[in-house]
């Protein structure tokens, strides 16, 4: 939200348009035109500009247009489950914990702090449960609703004096299953006036914020290229 606020402050309140999905793009020697689906209004919208930066994720429409035979993401054989649950603050209340079975690397749990304030019972307030609608697009990636019963037996005895993992996981109102997928490297991220960025360019397993961290690096390098070369294909080539 801090980043979103900063963008709107620097670029104008209308600089971020929600509920639009990239469909296709076309380019000439002087410009590129992108066509979007306006999900709210149920129509298509075209936008013309000097460059297109396609940061449209794992199922990038821009990448699929360039590499139509690439196929679906590649599953590495592992699955990650995620959820949120109310609990008393763990250690400092702002601690990230990683609890792992050294004899079985596939048995791992992670606990991340949440930002909401404490309620009067001394527990950390549970974040609002996501409705199915915001996840609809992500479900196409193989992400789907699950339940703790699917994996909790592997952690049945993980009850420590400072953290009761079965009890914590059991309080999760919703759990989501993420297949660990990535893609083979693309031969190039650049197509004239169009560039892939973030997961669209180099999707990574959803562990340790790898994808988000790399996308931030991408944006920094691209930003420096745009400052040096302005809004031109030379900027994308330098990126």
Q: Are 81 and 110 in contact (CB under 8 A)?
A: no
Q: What is the mean pLDDT of the chain?
A: 84
Report the distance separating Cα 206 and Cα 218, nearest Å.
Answer: 17
pLDDT above 80 (res 66): yes
Give the pLDDT of residue 127.
38
Give the pLDDT of residue 215.
95
Residue 51: beta bridge partners? none
Quote the DSSP letter at residue 87: B
Residue identified by tokens 């914990």 is 97
With a pLDDT cut of 70, the percent of the chain lying above it is 83
Phi/psi class of residue 77: alpha, beta or left (left: φ > 0; alpha: ψ in -120 to 50)? left
Give the pLDDT of residue 61.
97
Residues with Cβ < 8 Å from 171, sequence gap 6 or more? 85, 86, 87
The domain made up of 2-72+183-238 is a member of CATH 3.50.50.60: yes
Which range in 86-100, 129-143, 192-206 is most confidently predicted, on average pLDDT? 192-206
Considering all CA atoms of the chain, what is the largest pairwise distance in Å, rounded to the nearest integer? 65
Over residues 197-219, the mean pLDDT reads: 91
How sure is the predictor about 49, in pLDDT bands with cuts at 50, 70 and 90? very high
pTM given for the model: 0.76
Q: Are 62 and 199 in contact (CB under 8 A)?
A: no
What are the boundaries of each domain within the chain?
Answer: 2-72+183-238, 79-181
The count of other CB atoms within 10 Å of the CB of residue 203 is: 22
How sure is the predictor about 103, in pLDDT bands with cuts at 50, 70 and 90? low
With a pLDDT cut of 90, the percent of the chain lying above it is 50
How sure is the predictor about 112, in pLDDT bands with cuts at 50, 70 and 90? low
Which range in 21-30, 105-114, 160-169 is most confidently predicted, on average pLDDT? 21-30
Q: Dihedral (C-alpha) 76, 78, 83, 87: value to the nearest 10 degrees?
A: -130
pLDDT above 60 (res 114): no
pLDDT above 80 (res 37): yes
How sure is the predictor about 205, in pLDDT bands with cuts at 50, 70 and 90? confident
Give the pLDDT of residue 105.
53
Q: pLDDT (tens digit, 9 = 90+) per residue, 140-197?
A: 556 889 988 888 888 889 998 888 999 999 888 899 988 888 999 999 999 999 999 9
């Amino acid at each position: 939200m801090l980043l979103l606020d900063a963008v709107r402050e620097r670029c104008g309140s209308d600089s971020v348009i929600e509920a639009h999905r990239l469909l296709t793009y076309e380019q000439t020697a002087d410009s590129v035109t992108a066509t979007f689906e306006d999900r709210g209004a149920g129509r298509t919208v075209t936008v013309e500009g000097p460059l297109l930066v396609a940061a449209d994720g794992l199922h990038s429409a821009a990448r699929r247009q360039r590499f139509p035979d690439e196929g679906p993401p590649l599953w590495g054989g592992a699955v990650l489950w995620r959820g949120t649950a109310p609990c008393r603050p763990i250690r400092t209340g702002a601690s990230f914990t990683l609890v792992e079975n050294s004899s079985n690397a596939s048995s791992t749990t992670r606990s991340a702090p949440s930002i909401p304030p404490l309620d009067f019972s001394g527990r950390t307030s549970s974040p609002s449960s996501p409705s199915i609608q915001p996840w609809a697009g992500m479900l196409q990636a193989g992400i789907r609703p699950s339940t703790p019963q699917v994996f909790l037996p592997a952690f049945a005895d993980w009850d420590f004096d400072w953290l009761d993992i079965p009890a914590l996981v059991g309080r999760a109102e919703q759990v989501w299953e993420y297949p660990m997928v990535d893609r083979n490297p693309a031969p190039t991220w650049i197509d004239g006036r169009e560039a892939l960025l973030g997961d669209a360019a180099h999707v990574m397993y959803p562990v340790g914020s790898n994808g988000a961290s790399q996308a931030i690096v991408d944006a920094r390098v691209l930003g420096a290229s745009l400052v040096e070369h302005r809004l031109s294909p030379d900027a994308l080539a330098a990126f």
